[in-house]
Amino acid sequence: MKKFYLILLLCFSLTSYSQEYGSNFPKAIVESVTINNTITYTFTSNYLIDEYKAPMLEKRFLSRYSELLGISIIYNTQIVSFKILSTNSELFLEKFITHFKYNGYEIN
């Protein structure tokens, strides 16, 4: 019976932790520019991206997300800018900004 209570406690603890993780992350302030059927979103990273990591992150994101038409990470200003097709662009934006430790976004 003790094992059952231990397993039950462990399950509730994991659920509680997963709900709390990221809940204190801020919202991203995002700027968007629409040209024809593409949108370029720009925001500031919520964590430090070192000079040597910026090109690696760009390549990783391009290989991971087929939706990306292009991406630029400027390490000295921490500005992230990416271009995608306008179809379902806000769904992708929501998914993409979570990599930069944001909880939602606001478009300016």
Domains of the chain with bracketed CATH: 25-107 (3.30.70)
Q: Give mean pLDDT, residues 88-94.
A: 91
Q: Is the pLDDT of residue 30 over 90?
A: yes
Looking up tokens 């302030």, which residue turns up? 29
Q: Residues for the chain: how many in total? A: 108
| DSSP calls for the chain | -HHHHHHHHHHHHHHHHHHHTTTTPPPEEEEEEEETTEEEEEEE-SS---TTHHHHHHHHHHHH-TTEEEEEEETTTTEEEEEEESTTHHHHHHHHHGGGT-SSEEE-
Task: List pLDDT tens digits, range 64-75.
Answer: 999 999 999 999
pLDDT of residue 64: 95
36-57 pLDDT, tens digit per residue, is: 999 999 999 988 999 999 999 9
Quick one: pLDDT at residue 16?
46
Residue with more model confidence, 22 or 2 = 2
pTM for the full predicted model: 0.76
